[in-house]
Amino acid sequence: MPRIIFHIDVNNAFLSWSAIYLLQHGYKQDIRKIPAVIGGDESARKGIVLAKSPIAKKYGIVTAETLYSARNKCKSLQVFPPNYTFYKEQSKKLYNYLASYTPLIEQYSIDECFLDLTGTTLLYGNDYVSLAHKIKDEIKEKFGFTVNVGIGENKLCAKMASDFEKPDKVHTLYLNEIETKMWPLKVDDLFMLGKSSAKKLNELGIYTIKDLANADLNLLRRYFKSSGDYFKQAALGLDYSKVEPRNSKNKCISVSRTLPYDVVKKEDLLKILFSETEEVSFTLRTQKLYTKTIAVTYRNNLFRNYSHQITLDNETNATEEIYKQVKLIFENSWQEDPIRNIGIRLSDLKDKALSQLSLFEESDIKVEDKVEEVMDSIIKKYGKGSVIRASKKEENYNIEKR
DNA sequence: TCTGGGGTCCTAGGACCC
DNA sequence: TCTGGGGTCCTAGGACCC
């Protein structure tokens, strides 16, 4: 029996949501209707385009380009800062609304969801296009922003379909429509096929998804290894992955920061790493997880990226223990080059810590656990910065502009 | 005033074991 | 002291997503 999958994608999510926020707070213009972008803070060296209005797009402005370059394309461009708190609220509202249609819902990102509606004929009938329109229109009416709905027999097709003409549209991409609707597209329009693979494919004379579907599998494997198999399958519209409700835990927890200026002083970098350790380990404990692999990642002034990691014998969720490793990793790897961005990633996450400790060590850990627990509850109640370890007080570090 | 942040997955290569 | 091969675990780096 064919499956029925919907992919719901908020049109211009950050820009639409900011437009709503601004209108609610007395702003006269709807920024969806002027040349506008949501962009990071240039004075903090985060000046890239996060989202663009349709008019800004007409000027050739693309996501992730620098605001400097975007302004060169459109002199009258207006730039607004992101409002992540509001975005998360909107995202949650949308998710809760969509979840009323089926428990088989997967939140793919802050502004995208997959719904598996297979076998819901008795509930909603079998006119899926009408159902999609109903969902789309209800969202517009209830929340004030528009979405695209893609309908397909698997996630890949639903996702590709929602990417067709925007905004405020419903599209289908059934398997018998692959040749007419998907094959004419360029290879980089295929989901999970990015710039770098597209470039290689073009060099092999493969330009459209049709070319890719007809390409020799052995050739693809030779150049792309296992991705070659994926490309071929995807070009044929095949995908067997399931809609996975996101009660499953994270595979990794990370934090990173671009610094307002390149930092070369080790003490400063360690202070930043400590404050980042507090953040990730707090998240870790909030999710009731323990980490076995700790990584420090950084980028230097020349944009070269580094990552160095260590795998522990026993998983942990204690700030002090994690920081001890972070410090070691950093001190043993850093070449004293100026650092632009620095972060921490915890992976190999487990539900429970193995207790392969001596009794003495274990009682020590328990005391530390209790301390973390109390501190976490205070942070949850009163916010970050409300509690500071006495031993680390002097290390509390704020990145300030020079 | 050039180039964000949080994720997932894959691969090559080295260490180590039998 | 001229040296195989299969398996596992780990690390660093990169591709790709929104």
Tens-digit pLDDT profile for residues A129-178: 999 999 999 999 999 999 999 999 999 999 999 999 999 999 999 999 99
What's the longest Cα–Cα distance across chain A? 69
Distance A296 CA to C15 C1' (A): 20
Mean pLDDT (whole number) for A338-356 = 88
A115: buried, middle or exposed (CB in 10 Å: 19+, 13-18, 0-12)? buried
Query: Does residue A362 carry a catalytic annotation?
Result: no
The nucleotides of chain B lying under 7 Å from a protein CB are 1-12
User: A390: how many CB neighbours lie within 10 A of its CB?
Assistant: 6
Query: Distance (Å, rounded) from C-alpha A384 to C-alpha A377?
Result: 11
Closest CA to A233 of A217, A219, A255: A217
Point out the least confidently predicted range of A62-76, A242-256, A258-272, A371-385: A371-385
Look at residue A286 and tell me whether its pLDDT is greater than 80: yes
For residue A163, what are the CA distances in angstroms to A124, A185, A290?
Answer: 24, 12, 38
Strand partners, A309: A295
Q: Please identify which of the residues A112, A153, A276, A278 carries the catalytic annotation.
A: A112
> Both tokens of residue A168?
């405020």
> Both tokens of residue A196?
């770098």
> Both tokens of residue A328?
């070691």
Strand B footprint at Cβ < 7 Å?
Answer: A 40, 42-43, 45-48, 50, 63-64, 66-68, 71, 109, 225-227, 250-258, 283, 303, 341, 343, 347
Query: Distance (Å, rounded) from C-alpha A274 to C-alpha A285?
Result: 16
Give the pLDDT score at A355. Answer: 53
Look at residue A389 and tell me whether its pLDDT is greater than 70: no
pTM: 0.90
